[in-house]
Amino acid sequence: MALFDQKTKDQLKQLFSKMVKPIKIHFWTQEIECPSCLMNHQFLEEISSLSDKIKLFEHDFVKEKDLAQKYNIDKIPSILITDENESILGVRFFGIPAGYEINSFIAACLELAGAGEPIDSDVEKRIKNIEKKVHIQVFVTLTCPYCPSAVMAAHKLAIINPNIIADMIESSTFTPLAIKYNISSVPKTVINESMEFVGAQPLNTILESIEKL
Amino acid sequence: MNLNFQFLGFENIENKTKPLEFNTIYDVIIIGGGPSALTAAVYCLRKGVKTALITKDFGGQVTETSIVENYMGYKYIEGISLAQKFKEQIQQFELGLKSNVIVDKIENQSIKKVFCSDGTVYRTKSIIISTGKRWRTLNVPGEREFLGKGVAYCAICDAPLFKDKDVVVVGGGNSAVEASIDLAKLAKKVTLVQNLEKLTSDKILIDKLNNFNNVDILFSHIVTKIDGKNTVERIDLLNLKDNKAFEIKADGIFIEIGLIPNSDAFENVVAMNQYKEIIVDCACKTSAEGIFAAGDVTSVPYKQIIIAAGEGAKAALSACEYVMSKKEE
């Protein structure tokens, strides 16, 4: 059964029509797919059929181990959205971006396709000045209305500065990780294992925390 | 897993809002970003007065409401989508807009000053306060320490994280009973702790809650402490009838005990009632000349989206009338 009905498809097509440049979506799964991998796979197949600017690349996490390492993928199901030239490799989704997270997924596609939201030039400069490696993990649930804005802020940082990697992590797909980081309220953002905050923080707040790292 | 795709609206609307200017004296500065503030903005801008809006975020409590079924024009709409539509409606105007800040204080002179948390100050002839309300906290030991470690305020967000666990819900109104229903579907056991002898929620919700067999309701009980090691493990309770204290095991606690007004910044400037709500007359005037208030932060009864929006319109018209009358002087 299709995940998207006709109305949703039309809505998505209209949104994707704003894309200026093509984007690539790399998806990692494995031969015998876990239930959430299967669902994620179908989601991306349906998504990529809605725009000729979206090119989907499917990878086997086990068989293509070297490639996974090259892209820094350590768990599945995982989605990496990148630009045509693969100059930005930090916009990632672990677990299906359904429910409210469809919004952060669309936003990431549009941003990488040259149809993103403009950002204050001073803020952009500060983001570009970050020289250390930063790993942001945003834990979400699919029924959380505040979570997409936390994910979008993290992804925006990763799009502007290649030193930053930003992951959406669906808490019920990656239960062991959720336990490791004591996730009991979402969104929860973990930065470089050393800093964390609960709730959707504005981009400026996240940026200030990163600058203090 | 609930995959229901929830679109937040990405309509392609030209955004005409612009940053606030330090050297401008505004006609109206609106403080807040919920239904009353955003409605007030639309009314002021249509009247053609120089308007600015300063807010922490957009949509206010509407964004925390899963489904709205009593805002006219929509039989059914997600709270977050309605908030998005409100925001889009103000973006078509040349509104001075500053978000992600809170207002620390205001000064009431003939030209009024608005002081923001980032150190900036703006000047205006009139002010509309629409800062709404925020979650009331229990103020018991452990509540702050365990925030995000088992203490939660948003059941729709965090319920999926408590699958097969023991949780406590505090409160007895609609939001507490709705949270208990959401949690009962997933959690092993839900204990609803209510300080009164009965629930004050709508009957339709209580009937729904009674269909679950994993929900315990403790009447006339209060929470005295939230305890654990790294995360919540125990909740201390007190039975108000026999004054007996005891503890129960719980992995999480959802606090759903209503709201308090965001009126601290306006103390000593406008008169407030015993609940710290700003007292307004039927034209949304406060006790201070040229300062108006609307929505949940005011003493107007029945906190509803549609009432807040209507009050916002009224406050805007009153403020515009005030500004015009000053121009004539």
Residues of chain B with C-beta less than 8 angstroms from the C-beta of A4: 5
If you measure CA to CA, which chain B residue comes closest to A4? B5
**What is the average pLDDT across A181-208?**
90
CB count in 10 Å sphere of residue B310? 17
Q: What is the pLDDT of residue B12?
A: 52
pLDDT tens figures, B244-292: 999 999 999 999 998 899 999 999 999 999 999 999 999 999 999 999 9
SS3 assignment, position B188 = coil
If you measure CA to CA, which chain B residue comes closest to A107? B10
If you measure CA to CA, which chain A residue comes closest to B80? A145
**What is the average pLDDT across B13-35?**
91
Burial of B125 per CB tally in 10 Å (0-12, 13-18, 19+)? buried
pLDDT tens figures, B88-102: 899 999 999 998 889
B160/A185 touch (CB, cutoff 8 Å), yes or no: no
Q: What is the pLDDT of residue B157?
A: 84
Residues of chain B with C-beta less than 8 angstroms from the C-beta of A110: 10
If you measure CA to CA, which chain A residue comes closest to B65? A145
- Contact present, B172 and B199 (Cβ < 8 Å): yes
Lowest mean pLDDT among A8-17, A124-133, B206-215: A8-17
Buried b (16+ CB within 10 A) or exposed e, B270-286: bebeeeebbebeeebbb
Q: What is the pLDDT of residue B15?
A: 81
Q: What is the DSSP letter of B198?
A: S
User: Where in chain B are all domains bearing CATH 3.50.50.60?
Assistant: 25-135+259-328, 151-255
Chain B residues with a Cβ under 8 Å from any Cβ in chain A: 1-8, 10, 12, 63-64, 66, 78-80, 100, 147-152, 154, 156-163, 230-232, 251-252
Give the ipTM: 0.77
| Residue B118 pLDDT grade (very low, low, confident, very high; cuts 50, 70, 90) | confident
Q: What is the mean pLDDT of chain A?
A: 93
Lowest mean pLDDT among B41-50, B145-154, B165-174, B302-311: B145-154
Percent of chain B exceeding pLDDT 70 equals: 97
Listed in order, strand segments (DSSP E) in B32-102 are 51-54, 67-68, 77-78, 96-98
Residue A50 contacts by C-beta under 8 Å, 6 or more apart in sequence? Answer: A9, A12, A13, A16
The HSE-up count of residue B193 (CA atoms within 13 Å, CB side) is 23
B161/A183 touch (CB, cutoff 8 Å), yes or no: yes
Name the nearest CA neighbour of A181 among A135, A146, A142: A135
| Residue B327 pLDDT grade (very low, low, confident, very high; cuts 50, 70, 90) | confident
Q: How many residues can be counted in chain A?
A: 213
- Contact present, B28 and B55 (Cβ < 8 Å): no
The minimal CB distance from A184 to the residues B2, B8, B231 is found for: B231
- The answer on pLDDT for B57 being more than 90 is no
Q: What is the pLDDT of residue A139?
A: 97
The minimal CB distance from A184 to the residues B79, B80, B158 is found for: B158
Q: What is the pLDDT of residue A202?
A: 77
Distance CA B192, CA B69 (A): 26
| Residue B10 pLDDT grade (very low, low, confident, very high; cuts 50, 70, 90) | low
Highest mean pLDDT among A9-13, B82-86, B153-157, B184-188: B184-188
The minimal CB distance from A98 to the residues B3, B64, B252 is found for: B3
Distance from CA of B282 to the nearest CA of A (A): 35
CB count in 10 Å sphere of residue B308? 29
Distance CA A144, CA A187 (A): 8
B230/A106 touch (CB, cutoff 8 Å), yes or no: no
Distance CA B1, CA A195 (A): 29
A184/B156 touch (CB, cutoff 8 Å), yes or no: no
Identify the CATH class of B151-255: alpha beta
In chain A, where the domains are located: 19-212
If you measure CA to CA, which chain B residue comes closest to A110? B10
**B25-135+259-328 CATH pick, 3.50.50.60, 3.30.565.10, 3.40.50.720, 3.30.300.30:** 3.50.50.60
Buried b (16+ CB within 10 A) or exposed e, A143-182: bbbbbbbbbbbbbbbbbbbebbbbbbbbbbbbeebbeebb
Distance CA A127, CA B123 (A): 32
SS3 assignment, position B218 = strand
**What is the average pLDDT across B209-214?**
96
Q: In what order do the strands lie in the sheet with B221-228?
A: B221-228, B232-239, B244-249
Burial of B78 per CB tally in 10 Å (0-12, 13-18, 19+)? buried
Buried b (16+ CB within 10 A) or exposed e, A102-140: bbbbbbbbbbbbebbeeeeeeeeebbeebeeebbbbbbb
pLDDT tens figures, A71-117: 999 999 999 999 999 999 999 999 999 998 999 999 999 999 999 88
Distance CA A188, CA A169 (A): 10
Residues of chain A with C-beta less than 8 angstroms from the C-beta of B165: none
pLDDT tens figures, A44-73: 999 999 999 999 999 999 999 999 999 999
If you measure CA to CA, which chain A residue comes closest to B152? A185
The HSE-up count of residue A205 (CA atoms within 13 Å, CB side) is 15
- The answer on pLDDT for B130 being more than 60 is yes
pLDDT tens figures, A12-23: 998 899 999 999
Q: Which two tokens stand for residue A184?
A: 């009991």
CB count in 10 Å sphere of residue B100? 15
- Contact present, B5 and A99 (Cβ < 8 Å): yes
Distance CA A159, CA A118 (A): 12
Residues of chain B with C-beta less than 8 angstroms from the C-beta of A100: 6, 8, 80
Q: What CATH number has the domain spanning A19-212?
A: 3.40.30.80
Q: What is the pLDDT of residue B13?
A: 58
Q: What is the mean pLDDT of chain B?
A: 92
Distance CA A101, CA A175 (A): 18
Q: In what order do the strands lie in the sheet with A54-60?
A: A54-60, A23-29, A78-83, A91-94, A164-170, A134-140, A188-191, A195-198
H, E, C per residue of chain A:
CCCCCHHHHHHHHHHHCCCCCCEEEEEEECCCCCHHHHHHHHHHHHHHCCCCCEEEEEEECCCCHHHHHHCCCCCCCEEEEEECCCCCCCEEEECCCCHHHHHHHHHHHHHHCCCCCCCCHHHHHHHHCCCCCEEEEEEECCCCCCHHHHHHHHHHHHHHCCCEEEEEEECCCCHHHHHHCCCCCCCEEEECCCEEEECCCCHHHHHHHHHHC
- Contact present, A196 and A189 (Cβ < 8 Å): yes
Residue B223 contacts by C-beta under 8 Å, 6 or more apart in sequence? Answer: B138, B140, B168, B170, B193, B235, B236, B237, B253
